[in-house]
Amino acid sequence: MSVADMPNAEIPGAEMPDWFVHKKPRANLIVARWVPAALVGLPVLVLFAIVVYPTVWMFYHSFQDTNMMRLFQGNWSFVGWDNFGAVLSSGRFGDSVVHLMQYLLFGCVLQVILGTILALTLYEIVRQEWLRVILLIVLVLPMMLPPSIVGVLWKFMLTPSNGAVNQALLNLGLVDKHVEWFNAGVSLWAIIIADVWNWTALPLLIVYSGRVSLPPAVYEAARVDGAKGWLVMRRITLPMLKEVIAIAFIVRFMDAFKFVDLVYVMTSGGPAQTSELPAYIAFQRGIREFAIGEAAAYAIIIFAISAVLITLFLKYLKKVLKAQGIA
């Protein structure tokens, strides 16, 4: 008979200690059984309440003729694709898409380029750690300000008559008269300038973090081979940071499709709707004009356009990285 088959009483020294004999069921658990369920369940409920339910509600009302009165009375009716047809056939929406492309090209792209240049300059040129930290904090400070405050600040600075920007341009001799920053055709550029100042710090932080994480062994090998300066930057640093820079662009690209605050504070979409973006029109139609069904259709169209563009961009990025043997 093996030791494993012997009863506990027959095994020498097999007496159970008192704490084991008298222990309560499940007393060895670190936490109660309901704690994991609560930790998972509560975030899921919050996510459902603030994301899933509003999204389903929006999809439902995009096919209804819902306005504020009918919403409170509960007597809206199904109109099919009429809201989407009204949005897509609207010249106002078409103009706002053109404005969005302008903002993406000269706003988001410029932010990523400037953020990348500042991040690499800060890491490669500034050698003192304390100075690098101070400069990084100073460069990130604009991002800490609420967009509404940034809008008020830049609206004041871009005042045509005595704004700080016009005075600086006149003193430097770059212009010979005051620039009317809030006239038709120029107001969107004013918003882009304010947004670049506000959000360039975000790509800067992303790219700077990516540069810090690059392996030093690669640069040591490059120095041994005699490579330095711009050659190292062009052949090693930038190719290794492509994915990080792409992430920075995608983050700013997604923010562009919900860009409302600066437009509302600085120009209110004017003059003559020349600085409107699709998200701002959805805000106007839903919150200010109470056309909830049409505003929901705007939101779905904006979501569909952004999802398609981001998917195409990610596929292109994966194709490029695969061709280079990175992905």
How does DSSP assign 98-137, residue by residue?
A: HHHHHHIIIIIHHHHHHHHHHHHHHHHT---HHHHHHHHH
Which residue's structure tokens are 């929901």?
Answer: 296
d(Cα 267, Cα 260) in Å, to the nearest integer?
11
d(Cα 289, Cα 86) in Å, to the nearest integer?
15
Q: Which pLDDT score, from 0 to 100, does residue 46 have?
A: 92
Residue 177 in tokens: 């008269």
The CATH label, of 3.90.220.20, 3.30.1370.60, 1.10.3720.10, 3.40.50.150, for the domain at 91-323 is 1.10.3720.10
d(Cα 276, Cα 280) in Å, to the nearest integer?
6
d(Cα 287, Cα 237) in Å, to the nearest integer?
47
Verify cis geometry, omega within 30 degrees of 0, for the bond prior to 239.
no
pLDDT (tens, 9 = 90+) of the chain, 327 residues, equals: 554 455 555 555 456 666 656 665 555 556 677 788 888 889 899 989 988 998 899 899 889 888 888 888 778 888 889 889 988 888 888 898 899 999 988 888 899 999 999 999 998 888 888 888 899 899 999 999 888 899 999 999 988 888 888 888 888 888 888 888 888 888 899 999 999 999 999 999 999 999 888 888 888 888 887 777 788 888 888 888 888 888 888 888 888 888 888 888 998 888 888 888 888 988 888 888 888 888 899 989 988 888 888 888 888 877 776 766 555
Q: Which pLDDT score, from 0 to 100, does residue 75 have?
A: 81
Delimit the domains of the chain by residue range: 91-323
3-state secondary structure of 151: helix
Residue 173 in tokens: 């001799």
Q: Which pLDDT score, from 0 to 100, does residue 205 have?
A: 92
3-state secondary structure of 97: helix
Q: What secondary structure does DSSP assign to 19-68, as a single string?
A: HHHTPPTTTT-SS-THHHHHHHHHHHHHHIIIIIHHHHHHHHHTTBT--H
Q: Which of 258, 292, 295 is nearest to 277 (CA)?
A: 258
β partners of residue 64: 78
β partners of residue 78: 64
Length of the chain, in residues: 327
Residue 184 in tokens: 């038709």
CA dihedral 87, 92, 96, 97 (to 10 degrees): 50
Q: Which pLDDT score, from 0 to 100, does residue 172 have?
A: 85
d(Cα 327, Cα 240) in Å, to the nearest integer?
12
d(Cα 176, Cα 155) in Å, to the nearest integer?
21
Question: CA Rg, the chain, in Å?
Answer: 29
Q: Which of 277, 248, 284 is nearest to 263 (CA)?
A: 277
